[in-house]
Structure 1
Amino acid sequence: MKNSFVNKMLFITYLLVAFIFGSCSENNRSSPDDEVINSGSNPSVGVKPLLNTVNTSNWQLIFNDDFDYFDASKWEKNNSQQSRAPRAEIGISQWFWKPENVSYKNGNLVLKSIKVNANTLHCGSIYSNNLFEFKYGYIEARIEIAETMFGTHTALWLQGDNMGNVNGTGADGAEIDVFESAWIGDFTKSVVHIDGYGAAKKANTKRYDTPGIHNGYHTYGLLWNEDKLEIYYDGKFMTRYEGIWVPQVEEFLWLSTGASFGGVADFTSRAIGSFTESKVDYIRVWKMK
């Protein structure tokens, strides 16, 4: 009888521990949908998304670049033929994307922003238009941003070929800015632009906290399906877009530095020839099978 009583108590204790552990696991999920992907950075050990509760076999890696070299089958280097929007408030009257500002070093894509004269900035950018386009999935990139106070921002974004169509929705394409590092605080903003860039344009901007963004590498993620866009920073859910802001068509990838619009910089005081660089360790895209 004594052994039977002990065994029953042990069994009850086991059930209580299992229940408490399960409850803690439920409360500590970093994604409200259990769809955060923590990819790791070495494809040689088997790149796959690691989901909290969803079977990992449901995800397939469809795009990967570790930036050991420039792969012309995946990317095109931007070459601006005319100045992009001036940033007079920080002393930049013209700025351009130039192919020579894109390089590769130590397994990183390097995007340089350089002051070429008193009021002109040259930056680096690559995009995958007509080379890799996709609809729905999870994107993750590990990035060290360029120096914000220099007068430049780093961005991870997507673009749709037909986002200029004006119909009151982004279903036919949108510009999706996962992040733009234009501010000196520990925060950034995501933006979704729809209906082109003319008088009918619409934008939805959301600020989110990014601890340590100005120091070292951080991961930026976008989970995109037919119902929502979700933004992640270092594996944690940050913000969400729904409704008219969610594209229903293929989009392409974009990585860039550009003249900042945050209004705070000391570009004017920098010597001609001075520069700052953003480094991208990897970018990957998964899709549900």
Structure 2
Amino acid sequence: MRLSRSVAIAGIFLSIFLPFSAARADEPVPIAEKGSWRLVFGDDFDGSQLDRDKWTTCYWWNKDGCTNLGNAELQWYRPENVSISDGHLRLTARRQKATGIEGRTFDYTSGIVTTGRDYDELPRPSRVRFRYGHVEVKAKVPAGKGFWAAIWLLPESRESRPEIDLMEVLGDSASTLRMHYHYVDAASEKKSVGKDVETPDLSAGWHVYSLTWDPDKIIWYLDGKEVWRHTDAATISSEEMYLLLNLAVGGEWAGSPPKSTKFPSQYLIDYVRIWQRDDG
């Protein structure tokens, strides 16, 4: 999502390493990775309300809503746009005016969830943070110009880098899976690497997006098949990170929605899971 330091909206983070217990035989296992893993976080969204011990509904600069000004996005994220029903997390984008930061008017509202923290929760750490592991999300993205669905990781430090973009899909080009890694090199220069992979229309059905983050490599997968890897070990983050899922509207990359874009539209998530290697 290319979080910018000029984002300017209101913020905090929350963090607790979930206690790591021994893997159980009945626990789900990654579809993309072999070996021994232990599940350290999971949500199947089987209830009727978002579990606030696991999730918050804004960036850490939350002040009665939030957005990402660094990307010139057009939505104001609101908790009402986050819901759970029929076993799915629903992030809903609406063509709806809202008053946000510094009294600005936003023409759209949408939803975001993170395992981070809210502004009024400082200096508490993120709800869930981790260093290395495997992240797996089953999701269905919406179609339509102006939509920008994402799954990504940000550092516990509240800096804009490193950032690992597990998945980014633009609604008007949903046959392209976009993946990025943004970092700061040894000379303190900002760097980015990325890859676009042509796919079937990702908005047409459910897909499993996953990523393995190890000290010497980051590997991206779609439906259990590897699609890209970054293996420059000297650049790979060792910082604790937390997880974000959001549906942005507009911005420098996605562009403004035309009248033909359907509202309301939903970004659906069936489950989210995080494992770490069970190496004793």
- Give the CA RMSD over aligned residues: 3.1
Give the number of the structure whose residues are more often helix, by fraction. 1
| Amino acid across the alignment from 1:267 | P
Closer, same or farther: CA 102–234 of 1 in aligned 2, 3 Å:
same
1:232 pairs with one of 207, 215, 221: 221
Matched, 1:139 2:135: yes
Q: What are the within-5 Å matches in structure 2 for residues 1-289 of structure 1?
A: 46-49=27-30, 54-55=34-35, 58-68=36-46, 69-78=49-58, 79=62, 81=65, 83-85=67-69, 94-117=74-97, 120-129=107-116, 130-149=126-145, 151-162=146-157, 164=159, 174-182=162-170, 183-195=172-184, 201-243=190-232, 244-261=234-251, 267-269=257-259, 274-289=263-278
| Amino acid across the alignment from 1:47 | P
The superposition leaves residues 12-33 of structure 1 with CA deviations (integer Å, 9 ceiling, x where unpaired) of xxxxxxxxxxxxxxxxxxxxxx
SS in 2 for 1:268: coil
Identity of aligned residues (%): 26
The superposition leaves residues 4-54 of structure 1 with CA deviations (integer Å, 9 ceiling, x where unpaired) of xxxxxxxxxxxxxxxxxxxxxxxxxxxxxxxxxxxxxxx9964234677x5
d(CA) in 1 for partners of 2:52 and 2:220?
Answer: 28
The superposition leaves residues 186-236 of structure 1 with CA deviations (integer Å, 9 ceiling, x where unpaired) of 11211112249xx95332221112323121110000011000110000111
Partner of 2:21: none
Verify the 8 A CA contact 1:174 1:245 in the aligned structure 2. no
The superposition leaves residues 57-116 of structure 1 with CA deviations (integer Å, 9 ceiling, x where unpaired) of x2111111001231111111114655533878xxx7x32211111000100000011111
Structure 2 gap segments, 5+ residues each: 1-23, 98-104, 117-125
SS in 2 for 1:267: coil
Structure 1 gap segments, 5+ residues each: 1-42, 166-172
Closer, same or farther: CA 142–87 of 1 in aligned 2, 3 Å:
same
**TM-score w.r.t. length of structure 1:** 0.70
SS in 1 for 2:258: helix
Q: How many residues align structurally? A: 229
Shift of 1:148: 3.3
d(CA) in 2 for partners of 1:60 and 1:135?
Answer: 14
| Amino acid across the alignment from 2:163 | E
d(CA) in 2 for partners of 1:264 and 1:48?
Answer: 34
d(CA) in 2 for partners of 1:128 and 1:227?
Answer: 25
| Amino acid across the alignment from 1:269 | K
d(CA) in 2 for partners of 1:50 and 1:71?
Answer: 25
Closer, same or farther: CA 119–87 of 1 in aligned 2, 3 Å:
farther
| Residue range with higher mean Cα deviation, 151-160 or 201-210 | 201-210
Verify the 8 A CA contact 1:64 1:283 in the aligned structure 2. yes
| Amino acid across the alignment from 1:247 | S
